[in-house]
Amino acid sequence: MEPCKPTTREDIAPKFERIGDAGWADEITTLFHAYDAPLPTPCSETALSSVEDERGITLPSEYRLFMATLGPVAFGYAAMLPPLTTETSADVWFHDRLPQDIMDDLQNCLTVCDLGGSGDFLAVDLYTGACRLLDHTSATAPHAFESFSEFARWALVDLYVGHYGWPDESVEALVSSYKAELSPLRI
């Protein structure tokens, strides 16, 4: 069944607030199927535990549940990294250009998402679950989202435009407006 063209904010805004809410995974899966976007294999408990054991960390609960349920999905612009390929954010390829205070903050962050293949990444704080943009151009790491759930809601609407979505300026404007409400950063 072909999806209906979205025309309002309510048409694109995810219904779930948090990863783990009733129906959150079904909503994402249904949207991926509607737009013929591929869904990867979910990460096994063994693989997730292996990452935690090898690195001596505990993955943030929302991120862990997302990976165990859906796996490293590609929303379009934002492509989740498989857990075994993640790295501490202090090891990001342009770490030597970051100021020391930012490097100190990133010690407790894990790089979990490639943003557009541009060399920028999304990092999640292992203790708070908050997300930061690792921006190689400006050599900064500003706070981007209060939680991984907020990031997932932001990234999910990319399915309505781009490769899988509607080639329509009105839909693109709708998605841009919604994304700007969730994060003031131009990601």
Q: Can you give the pLDDT at residue 92?
A: 83
* Residues of the chain above pLDDT 70, percent: 97
In whole angstroms, how far apart are CA 35 and each of 10, 133, 170, 184? Answer: 18, 27, 18, 27
Q: What is the pLDDT of residues 4-19, one digit of tens each?
A: 899 999 999 999 999 9
CA proximity to 75, closest of 112, 129, 127: 112
What is 9-182's CATH topology? SMI1/KNR4-like (3.40.1580)
Return the sign of the alpha-carbon dihedral for residues 60, 64, 70, 74. Answer: positive
Q: How many CB atoms lie within 10 A of CB 138?
A: 10
SS (H, E, C) 69-130: HCCCCECCCEEECCHHHCEEHHHCCCHHHCCHHHHHHHCCEEEEEEECCCCEEEEEECCCCC
Q: Quote the DSSP letter at residue 1.
A: -
The mean of the pLDDT values for the chain is 90
- Dist. CA 136–CA 125, nearest whole Å: 18
* pTM (two decimals): 0.90
* Structure tokens given for 135: 């921006």
Write out the H or E segment, with its range, that includes residue 178.
helix 169-182
The residue ranking higher by pLDDT, 180 or 48, is 48
Q: Give, in degrees to the nearest 5, the angle at Cα 124 between 148 and 155.
A: 40
Query: Mean pLDDT lowest for which of 3-17, 62-76, 117-131, 172-186?
Result: 172-186
Q: What is the pLDDT of residues 130-171, one digit of tens each?
A: 999 988 888 888 889 999 999 999 999 988 887 788 888 999
- Dist. CA 137–CA 27, nearest whole Å: 35
H runs (alpha helix) in 39-80: 45-55, 61-69
Segments making up each domain of the chain, as ranges: 9-182
CA proximity to 162, closest of 144, 175, 145, 152: 175
